[in-house]
Amino acid sequence: MGRIILVATVALLGIAGWYTSANYSLEVHRSVEGKFQYVRIVPRALSGSVPSEGAADLPPAAPTRPAIRLATFNLDGLDDNRLGNPKVCDNLVRIL
């Protein structure tokens, strides 16, 4: 039983290592003098390049195709008494 657990653990560690190396990369940051400062794990971009540190500060890109947006609301509580209120009717006409 112990041998099966050992083989399963080694297999899982191998799969996790492969997944991590395929989807993430390490950025080693050094000072101007060349001394080690820190290491950062960053996700790989689709093209294989590592995104720059300022990429998170940029606004999102414009969509490549136009989007259609739909809005709905529930009119179950709308009865004759509420339709008799001019403010309710004016708001419904303005929305529609």
The predicted pLDDT at position 10 comes to 93
The predicted pLDDT at position 48 comes to 47
Which range of 10-24, 26-40, 53-67 scores highest in mean pLDDT? It is 10-24
pLDDT in tens, 36-95: 888 888 888 755 455 555 666 667 677 777 778 888 878 888 888 888 888 988 888 888
Half-sphere exposure at residue 52, Cβ-oriented, CA atoms within 13 angstroms: 4
- 42 alpha carbon, distance to own chain's centre: 14
Residue 61: what are its φ and ψ, rounded to 5°?
-70, 155
- Name the one residue in this structure whose structure tokens are 């590592």: 50
pLDDT in tens, 58-72: 676 777 777 788 888
